[in-house]
Amino acid sequence: MMTTTHLALVDDWELSGNGSGDVRQLQFEPLRRLVAIYNELGIHGSFNAEVMQQITFRQHQDQHPNLKALADEWDETVRETFRQGHDIQLHIHPQWQNAEYQDGHWKLTADWSILNYSFKAAQQMLQRGKEYLEHLLQDIDPHYRCVSFRSGAWCIAPSPHMLDLLVQLGIVFDMSIVAGVKYDTRNIQLDYTDCEEGFLPYYPVMTDARKVSEKVEPIVCVPTNCFYASRRQVLRHHVDKAAGKIRNKITRPNVVSNNGRSVEAYGEQWAQIDGSRLSRVYRKAIVPYFRGKHTISDLAQLDYALMMEMLESIRKRSRASGLSDVPVVLENHTKDLHNFADLERFLRNAAASSDIRFITLTELARNLKHRFKVKTRRSIEHAAANHR
Ligand SMILES: [Zn+2]
């Protein structure tokens, strides 16, 4: 059977996790560049607009007219992107709650993980975010709805209430699960090393999205894709990156790289607390040697060769599923995107392949009802029994 893979190009569109960075440089400009590439190739992409940030800008705009100008431009950028046929969906970073604005900088002190908030508090944030986006976009398309959710820093499981809350808000599917990731950082603790399904859509256990339910549930999980990059490509990618850094230092010694989003700030926010030297060596050097390096399919972090490895891995798994149509969610972060040329080359290649199609998140949600098969635990056991 011929298998068609339906790729959703998803992008978490936001400032840095600690609220730093310039909105124009990290969001407006790279988004326009990316959308221009999509438009040229006839692809419709999807953007997970982080709305807590925007609502916070609005809350402070009366005292700070510069924030009003940026918030207005945010609205206009989102509307213009949507008008051109791209999708906009819900993304929430709770650390923006009760943020303070001092001397032109944001100070975020609230918890980073939605899992640490009460049902009521989480409900308030998600409800307001959904209403903001729907209000903004429904006069362009009255049928527009928030149908998917990506939680800030992937925090969705386990939780006694998060999936119920999403159902209550009319969300059709969540895409916060990335099988295999584990964070134990200052801001985030989560463990997705034991996910029962890392590739295909499934009905989750309602209190633990890492597990596949026995039965049909009122919400679907579509995992965000990840793959094992070969040792050879990872090594080459790191050497290229290091060479790039040295080149930058020589040619532009005083320029802050990364659009004002410093590598040091990123490293500090995401540094693993699990700190023994031996465990670091094991994780970074020994595990990849046997299995390849576990890599989130985040296009901003990959070069062309790694993107092609990712696509090959997706093709293999799609075919192995025995299904005619498989949806796959790829990630991106506009704020980290620098290598537009490699991304364009990859998209051009994928767009020319007869077994690849591109879909938006709204299309993905619609097709979960008919075209795309959604797993239950029973269907997994059934398939395993047939295999024996
Ligand atoms: Zn985010």
- Distance of CA 151 from the midpoint of ligand 1 (Å): 7
Nearest CA-CA partner of 20 in 98, 92, 129, 95: 95
Q: Does residue 310 contact residue 349 with C-beta atoms inside 8 Å?
A: no
Q: CA 74 to CA 358: how far, in whole Å? A: 25
- Distance of CA 78 from the midpoint of ligand 1 (Å): 16
What pLDDT shows up at residue 230? 85
- Distance of CA 270 from the midpoint of ligand 1 (Å): 13
What pLDDT shows up at residue 178? 96
In this prediction the pTM is: 0.90
- Distance of CA 336 from the midpoint of ligand 1 (Å): 12
- Distance of CA 2 from the midpoint of ligand 1 (Å): 35
Tokens of 177: 């699960």
What pLDDT shows up at residue 127? 98
**Which residue type occupies 259?**
N
- Distance of CA 91 from the midpoint of ligand 1 (Å): 7
- Distance of CA 269 from the midpoint of ligand 1 (Å): 13
Q: Identify residues whose C-beta is under 5 A from ligand 1, the ion.
A: 12, 14, 152
Nearest CA-CA partner of 188 in 102, 275, 270: 270
Tokens 């030297």, located at residue? 277
Q: CA 19 to CA 31: how far, in whole Å? A: 18
What pLDDT shows up at residue 199? 98
Q: CA 165 to CA 123: how far, in whole Å? A: 7
- Distance of CA 132 from the midpoint of ligand 1 (Å): 17
Q: What sign does the CA torsion over 111, 197, 199, 339 have?
A: positive
- Distance of CA 15 from the midpoint of ligand 1 (Å): 8
What pLDDT shows up at residue 303? 94
- Distance of CA 247 from the midpoint of ligand 1 (Å): 30
- Angle formed by the axes of helices 340-351 and 304-320, nearest 10°: 30
What pLDDT shows up at residue 261? 61
> Any idea what the Cα angle at residue 80 is, between residues 79 and 86, rounded to 5°?
85
- Distance of CA 48 from the midpoint of ligand 1 (Å): 8
Per-residue pLDDT for the chain (388 aa), expressed as one digit of tens each? Answer: 799 999 999 999 999 999 999 999 999 999 999 999 999 999 999 999 999 999 999 999 999 999 999 999 999 999 999 999 999 999 999 999 999 999 999 999 999 999 999 999 999 999 999 999 999 999 999 999 999 999 999 999 999 999 999 999 999 999 999 999 999 998 999 999 999 999 999 999 999 999 999 999 999 999 999 999 887 787 778 777 777 766 666 555 444 444 456 444 455 566 666 555 556 555 555 555 556 788 899 999 999 999 999 999 999 999 999 999 999 999 999 999 999 999 999 999 999 999 999 999 999 999 998 899 999 998 767 766 766 5
